[in-house]
Amino acid sequence: MIPNLNNLPVYDTTGVNERIARFCSRSIKSSSKVEGLKLALSMIDLTTLEGKDTTRKVQQLCYKAMHPHDTLKNIPTVAAVCVYPAFVKEAKKALHGSDIQVASVATAFPSGQSSLEVKLLDTKFAVDQGADEIDMVISRGEFLAGNYQYVFDEIAAVKEACGKAHLKVILETGELDTLDNVRKASEIAIYAGADFIKTSTGKIQPAATLPVTYVMLNAIKDYYLKTGKMIGMKPAGGISTSKIALQYLVMLNEVLGEKWMNKNYFRFGASSLTNDILMQLVKSETGIYQSINYFSKD
Amino acid sequence: MQKNKDNSMFKASWTYNEAPESTDHIQIKKKYDLYIDGKFSKPIKGKYFDTLNPSTNEKIASVAEATSEDVDAAVQAAKKAFESWSKLTGKERGKYIFRIARLIQERAREFAVIESLDGGKPIRESRDIDIPLAANHFFYYAGWADKLAYAFPNRNPKPIGVVGQIIPWNFPLLMAAWKLAPALATGNTVVLKPAETTSLTALKLAEIIHESGIPKGVVNIVTGAGETGAAIVNHPDVGKIAFTGSTNVGKYIQKATAGTHKKLTLELGGKGANIIFEDAAIDQAVEGIINAIFFNQGHVCCAGSRLFVQESVADIVIDKLKNRMETLIIGNPLDKNTDIGAINSKKQLQTIENYIKIGLNEGGEIYQPDCNLPKNGNWCAPTLFINVSQSHRIVQEEIFGPVLTIQTFRTINEVVEKANNTPYGLSAGVWTQNGAKMFHLTQKLNAGVIWGNTFNKFDATSPFGGTKESGFGREGGLHGLKPYVKFD
């Protein structure tokens, strides 16, 4: 049932930004840095969502997912590969034998401007192709028009269509404008059955930001306090460097803590982040920053 | 002591490696002399005392103890320097003050490290707050030096003469800046005494002032404890006293200066009310509580040490506060990740511990997070006393440590009455998203500074000071010039 949205916590942008500044001023060094980098790598949803995607491009990406940098020992693989529904089957095949998940965007991604029927078909298609995770978009137009019940029902219907696949609900926070809206949309998504809430499609600027993620983490925290159920979080888009990724992890560490510090409950939707993390890991092992050309671009 | 472990459900698992700020770039002498008449000179009686690192209680340096003879020499130097300094044009005075500001900026890192080393505050605070603000105060008042006629139109402001300034140990360099900058800008000469536990940054400032080329005798810095301060207060050639410190000492100074020509400003203790309404942004308010009481280990005269939470949100606010406290990092003040540093002195630690005992004896419900305090040095875990009332001593008296009392309220009138029901009147904070309520409250609360949806924010352009037993006179902003001038 749709939660009471009239009594939600509100957010003060100045206060949120001050809190974020504190996370960003944490100094992460030596072994704790390596620990953080490896954790971040293991949480990446390696993503390609382009009109020009092809089967071979997806195959290449999948190889990269399984072999991020073979000359580095003791590094994890990424958590998942995220593609359009048309490439799920290929990705599934390419990743066979690994424990890397295949995530597929669905529901008329990225705008979500289609009928519920089409969105459910889109979802079912991806699931039938073998997707382990579905990244859906909410109807931002309906949300901003105040039709919260519509948004709620749509998410609930998609959740049902997912079957065993995990559902990540993309709020597209760049279109919601205020932190209070982000909180409201998080609440709707969580109560409608989201396993994860996700900031952005990556197609709208701004994509993931620390303040927006902070608000969503708080929604997850409050839900846990009320129900004891854990919801995952996925910031996506714009997280391109290790430094920023570590800032997200510091925030996760200090807001939700231990239980959430793994790929089952936190993901980064990113593509170029992987190589930056690898570069930092090589630096921590050898003391030298290698040229970007030593890191494979798939 | 009872410790509640239920709040570790969101406990952080990723521990950050130590990230200490390096100390190899700082220069500390083994022995510090008095800065009088443009020279570093030995105290007449030759006595020195130790200044300790409060996080280890190891000795850092010896500092000269100024007796009344030394104070007299300093006042005489200041009196002589006043003759020419007061006649210098405002523009020329401003140049020296600007130079001091720039030199502080240039050596900000060194100042930050020494401040944390000598005083125990986290490097994050000394680096991001104390030192930049100190430089800002000098910049700000340097700008006023040649514009005094515009600050006080048609009133012909004139400097007073020799001013005696006595500063506390909680913000050593910042308080020195608050006092020195307006005094110099208005054409006075100064005898300044830092607190005995935290003299080092004031003595470093003396080096910078010397380097600035300011005429000798304009600024004199004498170190020592209460007796040195008394010698300044009682010196007949001092025209004004500016004091920041405890209310008890403030009362003594007011008695001592009564019936004399001496002007006086006092910035004393406080027991600030931090009021959280049900319509506040709760997560930010929780951060506000942390910042209000645990900033600088609670060694803040304007700390929000009395929390008032509206009953309808009391449980959630207290739960969130406890959860948040579990993530506070307590330890080495020089570590960049430290949130809460060391208690400034053994004596202050005893005072705080005594109040915690009083609170427990009064039946207060105590909460402290599950944290490991370092073995050596002076440490106190951040502490809450929940479900206390106006009648508890820990609610009435200033503790000056990381101890917060929590009371609940039901209506606006009730909380206004309780917030004002204290001999102090320095600060208050109000948390609500309702603008009308905010403005209503700010009119009803009797405090010198009232923060809305934030706490412990300072700016050189903003006047700061108290009402009732929190003192009188303002520092900062245009108002901060007034105590240092006289009119025809």
DSSP string, B273-298: EEEE-TTS-HHHHHHHHHHHHHGGGG
Distant-in-sequence, close-in-space partners of B385: CB < 8 Å, separation ≥ 6: B359, B364, B365, B366, B367, B392, B394, B403, B404, B405, B406
Find, among A115, A46, A99, A33, the residue nearest to A283 by Cα: A33
Spatial contact of B475 and B179, defined as CB atoms under 8 Å apart: yes
- Cα atoms found within 13 Å of the Cα of residue B487, Cβ hemisphere only: 10
Is the whole-model pTM more than 0.90?
Answer: yes
Clarify whether B301 is annotated catalytic: yes
Output the CA–CA distances (angstroms, integers) from residue A60 to A51, A56, A77, A88, B252, in the order listed: 16, 6, 15, 14, 80
- Binning pLDDT at 50, 70 and 90, where does residue B488 land? confident
DSSP label of A294: G
Mutate to test the interface with A, among B126, B283, B286, B434 (most CBs of A within 10 A): B283
Structure tokens at A111: 């705008």
Find, among A163, A165, A169, the residue nearest to A191 by Cα: A169
Mutate to test the interface with B, among A6, A8, A10, A12 (most CBs of B within 10 A): A12
Measure the CA–CA gap between B21 and A32, rounded to whole angstroms. Answer: 17
Q: Which CATH architecture has domain B3-268+470-487?
A: 3-Layer(aba) Sandwich (3.40)
A249 contacts in chain B (CB < 8 Å): 14
Residue A36 to residue B14, Cβ atoms within 8 A? yes
Residue B336 to residue A255, Cβ atoms within 8 A? no
Q: Outline which parts of chain B fall under CATH 3.40.309.10.
A: 273-459
Nearest chain B residue to A215 by CA: give it.
B283
The nearest CA of chain A is from the CA of B285 a distance in Å of 8
pLDDT digits (tens, 9 = 90+) for A114-136: 999 999 999 999 999 999 999 99
Residue B386 backbone dihedrals phi, psi, to 5 degrees: -100, 155
Domain topology for B273-459? Aldehyde Dehydrogenase; Chain A, domain 2 (3.40.309)
Percentage of the residues of chain B whose pLDDT score is greater than 70: 98
ipTM above 0.85, yes or no: yes
Structure tokens at B425: 């009147």
pLDDT digits (tens, 9 = 90+) for B183-234: 999 999 999 999 999 999 999 999 999 999 999 999 999 999 999 999 999 9
Choice among B12-26, B55-69, B126-140, B440-454 with the minimum mean pLDDT = B12-26
Residue B457 backbone dihedrals phi, psi, to 5 degrees: -110, 135
Measure the CA–CA gap between B403 and B382, rounded to whole angstroms. Answer: 6
Which of B12, B283, B285 is facing A257, going by the closest CB pair?
A: B12
Measure the CA–CA gap between B99 and A171, rounded to whole angstroms. Answer: 52
Measure the CA–CA gap between B53 and B470, rounded to whole angstroms. Answer: 29
Cα torsion angle, A239, A214, A14, B406, sign: negative
B319 contacts in chain A (CB < 8 Å): 225
Is the CB of residue B6 less than 8 Å away from at least one CB of chain A? no
pLDDT at B1: 37
Structure tokens at A122: 């889109």
Structural domains of chain A, with CATH: 13-294 (3.20.20.70)
Q: Above 90 in pLDDT, residue B7?
A: no
Say if residue A206 is preceded by a cis peptide, omega within 30 of 0: yes
Q: b/e string for B391-409 if b means 16 or more Cβ within 10 A?
A: ebebbebbbbbbbbbbbbb
pLDDT at B10: 79
pLDDT digits (tens, 9 = 90+) for B309-368: 999 999 999 999 999 999 999 999 999 999 999 999 999 999 999 999 999 999 999 999
Nearest chain B residue to A17 by CA: give it.
B284
Residue A258 to residue B12, Cβ atoms within 8 A? yes
pLDDT at B12: 78
Is the CB of residue B124 less than 8 Å away from at least one CB of chain A? yes
Q: Above 90 in pLDDT, residue B3?
A: no
Spatial contact of B278 and B317, defined as CB atoms under 8 Å apart: no
Measure the CA–CA gap between B74 and B66, rounded to whole angstroms. Answer: 10
pLDDT digits (tens, 9 = 90+) for A42-93: 999 999 999 999 999 999 999 999 999 999 999 999 999 999 999 999 999 9
Structure tokens at B289: 């509580």
Cα of B222 vs its chain's centroid, Å: 19
Measure the CA–CA gap between B122 and B120, rounded to whole angstroms. Answer: 7
The nearest CA of chain A is from the CA of B205 a distance in Å of 27
Residue B16 to residue A27, Cβ atoms within 8 A? yes
Spatial contact of B165 and B179, defined as CB atoms under 8 Å apart: yes
The mean pLDDT of chain B is 96
What SS3 class is residue A42? Answer: helix
Q: Outline which parts of chain B fall under CATH 3.40.605.10.
A: 3-268+470-487
Catalytic residue among B301, B302, B380, B469: B301
Which of A16, A249, A258 is facing B284, going by the closest CB pair?
A: A16
A250 contacts in chain B (CB < 8 Å): 14
pLDDT digits (tens, 9 = 90+) for A226-273: 999 999 999 999 999 999 999 999 999 999 999 999 999 999 999 899
Surface-to-core class of residue B354, CB atoms within 10 Å of its CB (0-12 exposed, 13-18 middle, 19+ buried): exposed
pLDDT at A1: 86
Structure tokens at A92: 């599934």
Residue A18 to residue B287, Cβ atoms within 8 A? yes
Measure the CA–CA gap between B152 and B481, rounded to whole angstroms. Answer: 9
Is the CB of residue B487 less than 8 Å away from at least one CB of chain A? no
Is the CB of residue B16 less than 8 Å away from at least one CB of chain A? yes
Nearest chain A residue to B455 by CA: give it.
A15
Spatial contact of B34 and B43, defined as CB atoms under 8 Å apart: yes
pLDDT at B5: 44
Cα of A62 vs its chain's centroid, Å: 18
Q: b/e string for B258-291 if b means 16 or more Cβ within 10 A?
A: eeeebbbbbbbbbbbbbbbbbebbbbbbbbbbbb
